[in-house]
Amino acid sequence: MTFKLPDFLTWSAFNGLRQKMSAPLVERFGAKHVVTEIDLPVIDRLQGAGIDVTADQIQVLDDGTLAYKGYRVLVYIRDVHAMGNRDSMPKYHFAHCRTLETMYRNQRSERYVVANSDSGLFQVNVMDGGVRPQQVRLQVCQNCLAHIRWKGFDMQAARPSRLSIVEQFKLTEFFVKYPRDLMSLRPGHSSDTAPINTYTDDWPEVSARTRSLRGYRCEKCSIFLAGVESKYLHVHHQNGQKHDNRDGNLEVLCVGCHADEPLHAHMKALPEYRAFIDRYRQ
C-alpha cells in the first residue's frame, strides 16, 4: 500500500492562511512537482489491507502452509461481485490445498491477496457498479483444514462435524501453532544434535496403522485402495522429516498424488507409479 501526499498548493485552506499571513508563494519546483510515495513495511501491510500478489510470489512451506517475504500468510480473493450470506463469500486459505491448486490451474491466482491479521476480518472490494471496500468476516477453507488435519479435520466426516470445527477455528490459535514471523524461528537442532532423516524402526507398523485408520483412501484424490491394491497407497511425511511420525504430519496418498508432491517427482520413474497410472488414470 502506498500513500501520496496531497498537493498543498491547491489546498484552499492552506492558500487562505498563506494570504492572511502575506506569505509569498515560493518557486514551485518549476514544472516538476515531486510527489513522495511512502511504502509501509511488509508486516504492517499484511496486518492491514493486505498485499496483491501473483502465484509465483507465494512460497509453499514444508508443512504445507503459505509464506510471503519471510512471513506466514493467509490468501484470499479481494474482489467479490455481490455481498451474499457468509457461506457464499470466498473462503480464506492458509495452506496449498486442493482449492488453491485448482484456482492456480484455472489462472485465477491474480485475484488473490496475502494478509496475516488474526482478527478474522478481511478487506474485500464489493463490485456492484463501482468498487466499495468493506471489511467482512470470512470463513476458513475446509480443504486447508484437511490439508494439515487441523484437530483431526476430515473431509470424509459428517457435515455437522466438519462445520463444528470450521466455526470453532480461530486464527489466534492457528498462529500460535504456526507463527507468522518465519525469520524469528530458530532450528530446534544443531548439526550435532539433528536426528538423521530416515524412517524409524517401527515405520512399517506406523504406515499400516495410518492407512487403516484413514480408511485406505487417498486424502488428495479420494481413491479407495484396500487389500492387494493398498500397495499403491503411501503415507507421506508433510514436513519432509521421515522420523516425524506425529499423526498431524502424516498424509495418506496414492502413489500418483504422492509423486506430485514437491521434491517427489523421482517417484514417477518407479514401475509401481507406471502400473498405477495405467490401471487407474488412463
pTM: 0.53
In the DSSP assignment, the letter for residue 41 is: P
CB 239 within 8 A of CB 232: no
Band of pLDDT at residue 41, cut at 50, 70 and 90: confident
CB 148 within 8 A of CB 251: no
pLDDT above 90: residue 224 = yes
Question: 14-53: buried (b, 16+ CB within 10 Å) or exposed (e) per residue?
Answer: eeeeeeeeeeeeeeeeeeeeeeeeeeeeeeebbbebbbeb
Segment 92-101, tens digit of pLDDT: 999 988 888 7
Band of pLDDT at residue 258, cut at 50, 70 and 90: very high
Helix or strand (DSSP H, E) at 148: none
| Distance from the Cα of residue 223 to its chain's centroid | 25
CA separation for the pair 89, 108 (Å, rounded):
16
pLDDT for residue 186: 53
CA separation for the pair 194, 197 (Å, rounded):
9
Segment 225-246, tens digit of pLDDT: 999 999 999 999 987 778 889 9
Segment 178-218, tens digit of pLDDT: 998 887 655 555 555 556 678 899 999 999 999 999 999 99
Cell of 72: 506466514
6-10, 47-51, 236-240, 265-269: which range is least confident on average?
Answer: 6-10
